[in-house]
Amino acid sequence: MQKTRSPLIVANWKLNGGTDLICTSVASFLRKKFRVKIGIAPPYVYISNMANFLRNSQIMIGSQNVSKFESGAFTGETSAQMLKEVGCEFCLIGHSERRQVFLENNASCHTKVASALAAGLMPIICIGENAQQHDLGLTKHILYRQLQESLLGQDIKNKRIAIAYEPIWAIGSGKAASPESVQQVHEYIFNELCTIFDEDSAKNMRILYGGSVNKNNAAQLLAMPNVDGLLVGGASLDPEHFSEICALANQITPEVELTS
């Protein structure tokens, strides 16, 4: 499938960061122009400051999670509407660490996707298989269930959705999946999105890769036809490193894109 839009490069800071990282990250993007779409997902407490500092930039600010509840007696939760009000444009949903540590599942992801879409946020749904599932050849089976149970029946008219494929065995391991294997999985994901929705809708959804992404493998991954962007974890905590990844993506992005 020929690419028709600019890549999306997203930094997931996880439970890291502070005012120093905010300042150096902001400084690394000042006066720089990118054709790629760039997003940063800091911890909750820094979202408002980041959105304020970068309000006149091209950088999108997002959340690493969103509540499945809209309001009520749910201590510690943050709704999609609240995130929208403080400047978020996107939110991660179903990251493997949320699934493993906080026992989130496909059903809760479905509810969160609906909430994000209703609030005008772009959900980035994270999917991926663990090492045992990968070794048993169950990757497509796992991804099928995650996609079907998170997306079936969602109202996506005039709304944005992205998928992030993160093989769990690659996250934080320093060993990314090969570009060729990523391409095969992303092609499968695209075909499943065509089945869940339709081909035109699927073409408007970016499919990102995440899992030990760094400046040494970013260009190779982005060169794959079905890789529409990257979800960057540890490498995004070094502002210059993340900026280099964005610059690499910029180099392979046409000066004029067909869609945003």
Kindly give the interhelix angle for 44-53 and 19-29, rounded to the nearest 10 degrees.
Answer: 30
Calpha distance 165→232 (Å, rounded): 12
Structure letter (DSSP) for residue 54: T
Contacts for 192-199: CB closer than 8 Å, 24+ residues apart: 192/143, 192/144, 192/147, 192/148, 193/147, 193/151, 193/163, 196/147, 196/148, 196/151, 196/152, 197/151, 197/156
51 — phi, psi (to 5°)?
Answer: -60, -40
The residues annotated as belonging to the active site are 95, 166
Q: Distance from first CA to last CA of the chain, Å, rounded? A: 17
Calpha distance 250→247 (Å, rounded): 5
